[in-house]
Structure 1
Amino acid sequence: MNVGIHHQKGGKLGILLGTVLSTILLGLVTALYYEIFVGLWYDWDHDPNYSHGFIVPFMSVYFVYERWGQLQKLPHQPHLLGIPVLILGVAMLVIGSVGAELFAQRVSFIVVISGLVLLIFGKRILLTLSLPLVFLLFMIPLPAIVVNTIAFPLQIFAAQTASFCLFNLGIPVLREGNLISLAGSTLEVAEACSGLRSLVALLALGTVYAYFSQRQMWKRWTLVLLSIPIAILANAFRVTGTGILANYWGTEAAEGFYHTFEGWIVFVVAFILLLACGTLIGKIGKHSRRQSTMSV
């Protein structure tokens, strides 16, 4: 009986020490990454492609809150593998600072936090926190080389799809690369119209929706992956709508407020399509489970 009480007190003391140590380290990490956080905030506020970054940390905190009961039941088993992970994160921060590579600096924060969790709390707790940690990647703007690699093919696809749709709607159209020539105007599918913004935002939103709407892992991954083609096609049809406005009412009608409003409408439609896909995916397997339950 005395041994059990002593073990219980020792366990509580270990949890308390681990919590205090993790709080101190988290404060040190926050101070270390203060300027990087300020830069992130600036990008969220000034780059419309990543305005959703304001929401991402709150969603990650919610994911942690949702797992809080499960985390309290898991044993704290510090793992030395957290040391090399922590060293890797610090190395990414140093190399990113020397090379002025913001993406590496910002990703290093997630790596450092992962290393600390593994070092202090162990593998099982790190695995439980994997979704909140990985989800933080959505708040980090992609490096320019990745944006340029992804954006241009998206521009070409949007221009091709829009030209095809406009031609079949009886609108004379000529496409040269990412330029769409109409009877009285020429539209350029610029980088801002590539759909990268809606792609990243819908991918983040699709991840949240898949997590809450589906229970099986393969269904969650299917829904997350479906958000990619939905976002790409939605942007292509948005460009088509812009072409229709420009053809009948001039380029002024396709710019400014109407252009922004059209983008929001198309994004809402894309999310509705994602909701419909989630509903259909959720129904897969339900009929067979009902039959097996009835037969039993």
Structure 2
Amino acid sequence: MQIQRQLKNKNSSQLMSLALLGILVLLYAPLLLYWWDGWVKKSISIEHEYFSHGIIGLPFAGYLCWMNRKKWQRLPNTSHPLGAALLVVGGIFYLSGVSEWVNISFPLILAGLCLWLKGIPGFKLQGFPLILVLLATPTSVPYLITPYTLPLQSFIAGTAGFILTQLGMQVIVDGINIYVGGRIVEVAPYCAGLKMLFTTFYVGLMLLYWTGALSSRRKSIWFLSIAVLMSISANIVRNTLLSFFHGTGQEGAFHWLHDSWGGDVYSAIMLLLLIPVLNWIDAYFSEVTETQHEGEA
């Protein structure tokens, strides 16, 4: 009798999980497809393109949830009141019809379900996938940050102008404008490298989690700091090349790197370089730890 009751409860739990999954698919599949299509074809708004790292981040979050499924099933069914609150707020946002609120409702609903079904332990178990979903959810954050990027734009323009001057070119830098051969290249807010910074930070978090280095605060801080410096340096080089191409009349090369697949290749190479950097940091701090232990012994 007890075995039958356990089987019945297990089947009920599985049916409930499948029902919730089906509802989520019906509600959010069109939205996710819209994001995906916009990111791949670059047909979405400029601000939403800043979150194109979701192309790799969202599938990775789904993979992590799948890998945690057995741990999830073993957790006791306990509800946290915050879960119900998040579900209500997420539902209101979804029904509002306001595009940004509908977007934000996605991570809210997922977090609410974790808390409602499994409480704090379930929320902690799915914590990193939820972070990946949140950071890949298109919002107006890039638009809000843009007015404050002027110092970064000026720094990039000045550095790019200095590099071109060292190459023997006649360059004039005026604020965020670079004049090369009588042609002007503007380091606009959306050329200040914010998108690359967002992507670098996001991919950096994924690498830290995948390698287990995220558990070390020291390794994480060093790696993310170096990654940010690499991103800024790569954007300076990119703007220098764009200024060179435009100033010397190489419009084909300019458009290839600026708004064609050349920019994607450039970004991909930069992101791949993060892997040996993380390996080096991991090896370095492992050596330091071993040396300290030997000294104590």
**TM norm. shorter chain > 0.5:** yes
- Alignment match, 1:18: 13
- Alignment match, 1:252: 251
- Alignment match, 2:179: 181
Code of the residue aligned with 2:192 in structure 1: it is S
Shift of 1:232: 2.1
Q: 1:287 to 1:36 in 2, by over 3 A?
A: closer
Given that 1:43 and 1:50 are in contact with CA atoms closer than 8 Å, whether structure 2 keeps it comes out as no
SS of the residue 2:185 aligns to: strand
Given that 1:235 and 1:266 are in contact with CA atoms closer than 8 Å, whether structure 2 keeps it comes out as no
Query: Which whole-Å deviations, capped at 9, do the CAs of 1:237-273 have from their partners, x for residues lacking one?
Result: 11112223344x4242542225446534542443244
Identity among equivalent positions (%) equals 24
- Alignment match, 1:162: 160
The CA distance in 1 between the partners of 2:221 and 2:95, in whole Å, is 34
Given that 1:185 and 1:251 are in contact with CA atoms closer than 8 Å, whether structure 2 keeps it comes out as no
Q: 1:152 to 1:31 in 2, by over 3 A?
A: farther
The CA distance in 1 between the partners of 2:101 and 2:222, in whole Å, is 29
How many pairs were matched up?
286
- Alignment match, 1:279: 279
What runs of 5+ residues in structure 1 fail to find an aligned partner? Answer: none
What runs of 5+ residues in structure 2 fail to find an aligned partner? Answer: none
Deviates more, 1:237-246 or 1:148-157: 148-157
* Cα RMSD (Å): 3.1
Of residues 106, 116, 119, the one that matches 1:119 is 116
Shift of 1:135: 0.2
Code of the residue aligned with 2:191 in structure 1: it is C
- Alignment match, 2:55: 54
SS of the residue 1:124 aligns to: helix
Structure 1 residues 80-119: aligned runs within 5 Å? 80-95=81-96, 97=97, 100=98, 102-119=99-116
The CA distance in 2 between the partners of 1:176 and 1:295, in whole Å, is 57
The CA distance in 2 between the partners of 1:221 and 1:64, in whole Å, is 26
Q: 1:18 to 1:266 in 2, by over 3 A?
A: same
Q: 1:33 to 1:62 in 2, by over 3 A?
A: closer
Tell whether 2:222 aligns with 1:233: no
Given that 1:161 and 1:237 are in contact with CA atoms closer than 8 Å, whether structure 2 keeps it comes out as no
SS of the residue 2:132 aligns to: helix
Query: Which whole-Å deviations, capped at 9, do the CAs of 1:153-209 have from their partners, x for residues lacking one?
Result: 543332222123223333221122322101232212234433233223222222211
- Alignment match, 2:198: 200
SS of the residue 1:77 aligns to: coil
Given that 2:86 and 2:112 are in contact with CA atoms closer than 8 Å, whether structure 1 keeps it comes out as yes
Given that 2:62 and 2:129 are in contact with CA atoms closer than 8 Å, whether structure 1 keeps it comes out as yes
Q: 1:242 to 1:222 in 2, by over 3 A?
A: same
Code of the residue aligned with 1:116 in structure 2: it is L
Given that 1:213 and 1:282 are in contact with CA atoms closer than 8 Å, whether structure 2 keeps it comes out as no
The CA distance in 2 between the partners of 1:176 and 1:211, in whole Å, is 43
Shift of 1:57: 2.1
Code of the residue aligned with 1:250 in structure 2: it is G
- Alignment match, 1:43: 38
Deviates more, 1:224-233 or 1:201-210: 224-233
Q: 1:126 to 1:19 in 2, by over 3 A?
A: farther
TM-score, structure 2 as length reference: 0.80
SS of the residue 2:81 aligns to: coil
Given that 1:78 and 1:119 are in contact with CA atoms closer than 8 Å, whether structure 2 keeps it comes out as yes
- Alignment match, 2:72: 71
- Alignment match, 2:267: 267
Given that 2:180 and 2:244 are in contact with CA atoms closer than 8 Å, whether structure 1 keeps it comes out as no
Q: 1:9 to 1:201 in 2, by over 3 A?
A: farther
TM-score, structure 1 as length reference: 0.80
SS of the residue 1:174 aligns to: strand
